[in-house]
Amino acid sequence: MAGRVDGKVALVVGGGQTPGATIGNGRATSILLAREGAKVVVADLDLERAEDTVQAVRAEGGDATPLVVDVLQEDSVKAAIDATVSTYGRLDLLHNNVGASLSIGDKPATELDVEGWDRVININLRGMWLACKWAIPQMQQQGGGSIINISSMAAMHVYPRVGYKVTKMGVIGLTEQLAGVHAKDLIRVNTILPGLMNTPMAIEARVEAGQPRDEVLAERNARIPLGGQMGSAWDVAYAALFLHSDEARFITGVSLRVDGGMQVGH
Ligand SMILES: NC(=O)c1ccc[n+]([C@@H]2O[C@H](COP(=O)([O-])OP(=O)(O)OC[C@H]3O[C@@H](n4cnc5c(N)ncnc54)[C@H](O)[C@@H]3O)[C@@H](O)[C@H]2O)c1
């Protein structure tokens, strides 16, 4: 049976993961895209993290290649696009997954300094723009493509730290702008808004900041209308698989909430 993204070439930026007990969004998405027939370049600041994802893909018989990228450096981002094309011949799916808050020093507006602001903006938002900037000409040349920029439900609510909130709103703006401008090129650009997910990125930083793990999990679960349980990285990955596949060929510029009903249920 043909996979849902058979023959496509994907670049997952931030395809490694924060170490922890569960699987992260970028890793689950890389694995699922490969399982459904894509060749996947797994790019991450941390080569070992990228290699671990690639190993998981290969263990299932999939095709993936690890790559180092730093989304803070334009040359590095451009090189990742070039390396994808030189490894697999094309680039169909760009998946922009890099994003963080607590772990990169994000703070409330009255506590953050200028360097902290710049760091969060540059990692969470400028990096996604840079990857789009260099991927789009390649996709134009090929006659189309799909881009997903990962935002967050933090964009929809008051959030304790200003940089994350602002950048995740910015990701929606970037997505809508590019979707509008590049529809004529058959390049679809969508965003996913994960809610409270049980991933290392979300849980480990809070545990490291001193909150007991059980308390972190229970607090987050209690906020989910759909079943009283956080989602997992696979929930985000399945949404991404759909949006990257030709099943979504008429869908662009959307912000897809993957939040267990949080937006509508409380
Ligand atoms: N996990 C959640 O609960 C949750 C909720 C809402 C939104 N999100 C969003 O999902 C995305 C990440 O989820 P995840 O679970 O895969 O996180 P993760 O932390 O496990 O993976 C992100 C990867 O990005 C890499 N990275 C960090 N800085 C980088 C840089 N400068 N250049 C290249 N790579 C870099 C990290 O090494 C890491 O492997 C983020 O955009 C985040 O805001 C997550």
3-state helix/strand/coil string of 92-110? CEEEECCCCCHHHCCCCCC
Query: Cα of 150 to ligand 1 centre, how many Å?
Result: 9
pLDDT of 84: 98
170 lines ligand 1 (CB under 6 A): no
pLDDT of 266: 63
CB 184 within 8 A of CB 174: no
> φ and ψ at 65, to 5 degrees?
-135, 130
- What average pLDDT does this structure show over 54-64? 98
Query: Cα of 96 to ligand 1 centre, how many Å?
Result: 9
pLDDT of 1: 78
Query: Cα of 243 to ligand 1 centre, how many Å?
Result: 19
Residues identified as active-site: 164
Write the pLDDT tens digit of every residue in 114-137. Answer: 999 999 999 999 999 999 999 999
Q: Which atom of ligand 1 is nearest to the CA of 236?
A: 10
30 lines ligand 1 (CB under 6 A): no
pTM of full prediction above 0.95: yes
How many whole angstroms separate alpha carbon 252 and alpha carbon 125? 19
Task: For the chain, report the end-to-end CA distance as a whole number of angstroms.
Answer: 41
Q: What is the mean pLDDT of the chain?
A: 97
Whose Cα sits closest to atom 41 in ligand 1?
Answer: 99
With the most atoms of ligand 1 within 8 angstroms of its CB, the residue from 27, 44, 126 to mutate is: 44
Query: Cα of 97 to ligand 1 centre, how many Å?
Result: 6
Flag whether pLDDT at 192 surpasses 80.
yes
- What average pLDDT does this structure show over 205-225? 94
Q: Which atom of ligand 1 is nearest to the CA of 100?
A: 43
Write the pLDDT tens digit of every residue in 95-109. Answer: 999 999 988 999 999
Q: Which atom of ligand 1 is nearest to the CA of 29?
A: 16
- What average pLDDT does this structure show over 224-251? 98
CB 148 within 8 A of CB 79: no
Flag whether pLDDT at 244 surpasses 80.
yes
How many whole angstroms separate alpha carbon 205 and alpha carbon 2? 39
Q: Which atom of ligand 1 is nearest to the CA of 46?
A: 37
- What average pLDDT does this structure show over 151-176? 97
The fold adopted by the segment(s) 9-194+232-260 is Rossmann fold (3.40.50)
- Confidence category of residue 170, pLDDT binned at 50, 70, 90: very high
